[in-house]
A and B are shown apart, each in its own frame.
Chain A
């Protein structure tokens, strides 16, 4: 059977993955899919649930992709399965199925201790749970978490962030008992207690006692200790949600869970189970990667495939309370005769253990606490020979990196998406020559990203040279060039190329060096030798158009403009016969100017108080804004005022690529700040900062970087973000690509510009202070200098002759280039005729 009705019970991460996987394999939509979701919101990223307390909202965590032919019933819990009629009943109806998939997940286990029903006691599973915790935590002082595992520590961190004095109670003698060993647990405890989280280990909670108001107030421990807690989170493990399957008479695993075979099929051949609710050959997995693997297996089976569950990789790497913790393979050394190699560095607070086979030839597993940088290589090496000497591996030697090339073909490089070394190698053989190409081709590195360094190493191992050379004249990258210029105080291109390059330069390296010199503050961009480095746009401080004419964009900070200034722009456009258009950045573009007209146009504009808008530069363009609290009924902050201030602060700042920004005055986000390099969205108490968005060829929403900032803190973060970008990005790399390419991504960026992990912040702050202090309007400075002005002629030997090649015709009442709409194949008419019957081509997805 390869078609019909498939009903999915559950829209968690694995349920959603199943739908995505089926849709990808079933483009003809032979399967009609109905998803029954108990929660009122579609699938979200439960692994990153705690990001909710860092300010992430529902949309940030959303995993749901709408598909054709998929019906999603939110808030409609399944209540029964009638296998004889092949019907699922819900709280409000019946759904017939040909195939049924259980993706019901787990529920939090609450130990049978008196008092867990008191108000103020929560579990930690859904966004609703977290929202309730946040509400309840207001005005409360103390919190406790029952359970010191992975989820318990996440919950403890959440309580900390909510301002509660926090304790953790764990029945086992160490934190994270499933993942780490005794010594690793001890190291972890040091980190955790340093954050003022008190740990009570090796002791059971015997009761929760109420206070005078009837809500929970105290935890009683088996050793007689009493812990004050106004709020308690129970994170003592999870149990599979198999109650519907039980009631329907399906076989259940020995420790719970819907029993399935390696095709994820239950004891009823029309019913499958995937994810945490499934017991594959009796074992349940509480991790998302095995769940994803099961979802893929079932999708494959439904289209006639024969996939089987490949076995679970239970390796884990995470950052808990800022501490890297990783565990993989036989972490506890249960293999008979196995050997441990351990490494403890109390100074650097790093603990690592490798478990080896009895002849020390094969890596079986390991534990890393404090530094998990060796994790990707180690995890992929499990079951094979060690890629380097054990101590070199544990000490994180750079030499180890190259050893990803020693991995066997079957080693799983990306466990999130089940991509093996062989998959990567064949993608490289097919022509993938860099990490972005590998990501697009194999999906490796597109989920958690921890394998990205290995992708680079595998490219190296395959002999793919990922050259950093800027061009044939410089062997170094833009970042290295920036440091050379900065550290050596180089002021001219000729010195730079004679000392650090070769040849005469070209249209790649010259504008890069021009931009670097400008970013470092070296006077006007048309002075001295710098003028010869500029791209034509910078050279004429205007934007070259297809007919050889230029366009002019005066700065209109925040999009706010007086009627008088609007009139001046209109008069200038009329007097110079310019085509005018409102831009996407809330300003006005004036097209069709000849180079000899540019100074005359700008004389009028500068006299009226305008200055360069830098539309021609790889520089800050605009800071858009919505109208904000000044006028808007919904606005909570003055978005226009902030946008104006930001635009004036960063105007003229030259960068590896253009920089766009926007400020929205409330969460409705009318300024579209999340499509910008840096976007600001007002909250009731301050500003949320988003970074790394762009429109363009590959649109990307900006990521939430920091929340509820004061204006001062916001400015400090943006200052550092921009200066770090300017220092370290590649040529023509927008902030989005810059962050994506960064080892460690957003976390790394945060560590550099918030925690000052590289000790750079003072330098970055000073660099921005210099920029702000030295800003001067480029066009005003051109008009004041005869030497700068002399280049604005069409012909060196006929300064009074206008360029005869630039001529216009009138279209919709405005001048446009002659031959502007050349008849090229595929160009569509834009005048609308009568509607015609459509024979639409098939839409490719």
Chain B
């Protein structure tokens, strides 16, 4: 059985600290989260690249595949769906996604820990 534990919202930074179509890494409750701002809105996924184990997804190039907003791992270029965390190139591979919102001009993240 899978349970999802929702933690508290954590304020990360002012939203204008995020460059459009570029990621940053944040430390949220000790977890490395990759945060992206695109024209559609904000996305948050794990910073850890599941293929290499390195914490680098926030440094990937943001774009789209069809209608899907994406980020490509900077190490070996696998592409992930920013909305779901699913890898579009490797079936069965995915990264955790987290909740993110903009509140009073501040970016807030709430971890979703699945386990």
Contacts and interface: CB of A to CB of B under 8 A. Distances in A.
A535 B62 contact: no
Given A505-B63, A506-B61, A511-B61, A532 B74 contact: no
B83 interface: no
Q: Which residue, A472, A548, A794, has most C-beta atoms of chain B within 10 A?
A: A548
Interface string B24-53: 111110001001001100000000100010
Contact of A504 (B17, B25, B38, B54): B38
Interface residues of B, number: 38
Interface in B1-20: 11-13, 17-20
B27 A506 contact: no
B26 A795 contact: yes
A539 B58 CA distance: 12
A544 B58 CA distance: 13
Given A531-B19, A805-B55, A796 B62 contact: no
Contacts of A791: 19, 24
Given A546-B52, A796-B26, A536 B74 contact: yes
Interface residues of A, number: 31
SS class, residues of chain B in contact with chain A: strand
B101 interface: no
Nearest to B54: A548
Given A532-B19, A805-B55, A504 B64 contact: yes
Contacts of A510: 61, 63
Interface in A526-582: 529, 531-533, 535-536, 539-540, 544, 546-548
30 contacts: A503-B64, A504-B21, A504-B38, A504-B39, A506-B70, A506-B79, A507-B60, A507-B61, A507-B77, A507-B79, A510-B63, A531-B22, A532-B19, A532-B20, A536-B59, A539-B22, A544-B59, A546-B52, A546-B54, A547-B54, A548-B56, A795-B24, A795-B27, A795-B32, A796-B26, A797-B12, A797-B13, A798-B27, A803-B32, A805-B48
A547 B77 CA distance: 15
Contacts of B35: 796
B90 interface: no
Contacts of B48: 805
Nearest to A822: B53
Contacts of B38: 504
A507 B35 CA distance: 17
Nearest to B48: A805
Contacts of A472: 65-66
A131 interface: no
A801 interface: yes
B75 interface: yes
SS class, residues of chain A in contact with chain B: loop
B85 interface: no
B106 to A, nearest CB: 10
Given A797-B12, A805-B54, 5 more contacts: A504-B69, A511-B61, A544-B74, A796-B24, A798-B27
Contacts of B17: 796
A24 to B, nearest CB: 37
B21 A805 contact: no
Contacts of A797: 11-13, 26-28
Nearest to B78: A507
A548 B56 CA distance: 6
Contacts of B61: 506-507, 510-511, 533, 535-536
Contact of A544 (B11, B20, B22, B75): B75
A672 B70 CA distance: 43
B32 A805 contact: yes
Instruction: Please list the 8 inter-chain residue pairs (A to B) with the smallest Cβ-Cβ separation, ordered nearest first.
Output: A506-B63, A507-B72, A504-B64, A548-B54, A536-B74, A507-B61, A796-B24, A536-B59
Nearest to B56: A548
Contacts of B25: 794-796, 803
Contacts of A506: 61, 63-65, 70, 72, 79
A667 B72 CA distance: 46
Interface in A314-348: none
Contact of A796 (B12, B20, B21): B12
B55 A532 contact: no
A496 B55 CA distance: 32
A71 B45 CA distance: 65
A504 B62 contact: yes
Interface string A772-804: 000000000000000000010011111001010
Interface string A492-508: 00000000000111110
A792 to B, nearest CB: 11
A526 to B, nearest CB: 10
Contacts of A536: 56, 59-61, 74
Q: Which residue, A511, A794, A796, A798, has most C-beta atoms of chain B within 10 A?
A: A796
A472 B66 CA distance: 8
Given A504-B63, A507-B79, A531-B19, A801 B55 contact: no
A511 B70 CA distance: 15
Contacts of A532: 19-22, 62
Given A532-B22, A798-B27, A507 B63 contact: yes
A544 B74 CA distance: 8
A539 B64 contact: no
A803 B66 CA distance: 34
Contacts of B32: 795, 803, 805
A336 to B, nearest CB: 65
B43 to A, nearest CB: 13
A808 to B, nearest CB: 14
